[in-house]
Amino acid sequence: MLNRVSRLVSRSAAVAVFGALWFVVVGVVPVSGGVSVDGFGVVDTSSGVWYLRDPGSGATTSFYFGDPGDYPMMGDWDCDGVDTPGLYRQSDGFVYLRNSNTQGEAHSEFFFGNPGDVPLAGDFNGDGCDTVSVFRPSESRVFVINVLGAEDGGLGAAEFEYVFGNPGDAPFVGDFDGDGTDTVGLHRVSTGLVYFRNSHTQGGADAQFVFGDPGDLIMAGAWTAGHTLDTVGIFRPSEGAVYLNYVNAAGAADEEHAYGNKRMVPISGHFATLPGGDEPPPGNPTLVTAPVFAIGDSVMLGAKGTVEATIPDSSVDAKVSRGYRDADSVLASYLSRNSTPGVLIVHLGTNGPPAASHVDDLMAVAKNIPRVLFVTVKLDKSWESASNAALKQNAARYEKIELVDWFAFANPHPSWFAADVNCGCHLWNSTVQNAYAGFLNSAVFSE
């Protein structure tokens, strides 16, 4: 994301320092040797609080921006060399951008893409200015546009589009070859596989490797002085920790920082001068793991016995055609006969997206349960993306709801569901039943 001004700065300093995942390096933050590096931060999507960590001092700057459930990103929206907050509302495709790392309202608003799209923020044509493009998970398709909108208007059609990657993989952006233009990478959350292309064209990956553990969330940046390209970093929600790698290759992390908790998602960029002086993000709370009560539909029903045998002190209530509209009464019936569980697992949404009112009814009954896990859905139906987007948005409204991504975990394994020609969702063989039970067990015992 290196713009024209930063090219001049880099050459005069005899160091080619490039921007990262959505970012431009200019207006530098001095570190050792007078060059600059990118920083990282975390966003609590349940409250809209941003925490930016200064890469030189380690000090935190925090502020509010956005509504619960908005998708955070950072970019140089006004071409001044400083990356600032942006938000993408997946329910309607609206973009909200701010031009300073401070609390306040958006400086520009517009819409681009379709509900459920994932935003891609970066300098996709090398002009030194970042724009917002989108990745459509249902099609594994990238839609690129090199202008920003304004005044609540729409941007219209993308300038170009192409297919890249496999369904279920999570997109990220960076200048992976140091040429000043950002391209798209993908991260397989279930395995830690990272792969990317160095051009905006359809085709196989130019590089791939494994970094991190299943469940990690990816970002990219120029983490160390003298870097001429962007490399990966991951945020591990279960530990509240960030791991940075100085090369795009497998291996141990070069930096490790305790920062954030499982309610948060990572962001990164070139922050320039931050005021600091704020409290860092809180860490993970003490983990409650038992007893466990699980509410499900026909998907969970197929693995009921395996789940109860795998998760200690657990019981499952699953029924065909059940939805979130039924969850409050199911939980109320359980509580009338049993003590309050430590963990409630809810795997519904196969039969349609949850309404906010039904989630509110459930959470009113679950008010004394310490942890509530909402599980995303994997199914070959048109409402899959809508159900998962609604689950994410509703989970973000409650601090104690943890979103557990079965979709991301299961989608790379079509053979698990080959026997189910109806919806590609049911757990009809021992392989997928064991995988599902192990997945839920890991979620219960992950901080």
Q: How many CA atoms lie within 13 A of 90 on its CB side?
A: 27
Burial class (CB in 10 A: 0-12, 13-18, 19+), 351: buried
Residue 221 φ/ψ, nearest 5 degrees: -175, 165
Across 426-435, average pLDDT = 92
Nearest residue to 291 (alpha-carbon basis) of 402, 434, 444: 444
Burial class (CB in 10 A: 0-12, 13-18, 19+), 438: middle
Nearest residue to 124 (alpha-carbon basis) of 39, 19, 225: 19
Residues 69 and 87: their CA atoms lie apart, in Å, by 10
Across 319-341, average pLDDT = 97
Contact assessment for residue 72 and residue 86, using Cβ atoms and an 8 Å cutoff: yes
Across 425-435, average pLDDT = 92
In this structure, the chain runs to a length of: 447
Across 196-217, average pLDDT = 95
β-pair type (231-236, 141-144): unpaired
Which pLDDT score is estimated for 46?
82
Which is more confident, 146 or 154? 146
Across 286-306, average pLDDT = 92
Virtual torsion, Cα 379, 380, 386, 389, nearest 10 deg? 50
- The reply to whether the predicted model has a pTM over 0.95 is no
Q: Quick one: tokens of 95?
A: 């973009």
Nearest residue to 345 (alpha-carbon basis) of 320, 319, 321, 315: 315
Helix and strand totals (H; E) in the chain: 8, 26
Give bridge partners of residue 173 from the DSSP assignment.
Answer: 184
Nearest residue to 175 (alpha-carbon basis) of 6, 340, 357, 349: 6
Which pLDDT score is estimated for 26?
30
Homologous superfamily in CATH for domain 292-444: SGNH hydrolase (3.40.50.1110)
Which pLDDT score is estimated for 18?
25
Residues 220 and 210: their CA atoms lie apart, in Å, by 14
The answer on pLDDT for 15 being more than 60 is: no
Burial class (CB in 10 A: 0-12, 13-18, 19+), 444: buried
Contact assessment for residue 97 and residue 107, using Cβ atoms and an 8 Å cutoff: yes
Which pLDDT score is estimated for 447?
60
**Cβ atoms within 10 A of the Cβ of 277, count?**
9
Residue 184 φ/ψ, nearest 5 degrees: -105, 135
Domain residue ranges of the chain, discontinuous segments joined by + = 4-269, 292-444
The answer on pLDDT for 19 being more than 70 is: no
Instruction: Tell me the average pLDDT of the chain.
Output: 89
Nearest residue to 74 (alpha-carbon basis) of 104, 27, 39: 39
Residue 40 φ/ψ, nearest 5 degrees: -130, 170
Terminal C-alpha separation, the chain: 35
Which pLDDT score is estimated for 326?
97
Which pLDDT score is estimated for 91?
86
Tens digit of pLDDT for each residue in 239-284?
999 999 999 999 999 999 999 998 899 999 999 889 999 999 999 8
Which pLDDT score is estimated for 2?
34
Which pLDDT score is estimated for 68?
83
Residues 435 and 239: their CA atoms lie apart, in Å, by 23
Across 367-373, average pLDDT = 96
Which pLDDT score is estimated for 241?
96
Give bridge partners of residue 174 from the DSSP assignment.
Answer: 183
Give bridge partners of residue 296 from the DSSP assignment.
Answer: 318, 347
Q: How confident is the model at residue 129 (pLDDT cuts 50, 70, 90)?
A: very high
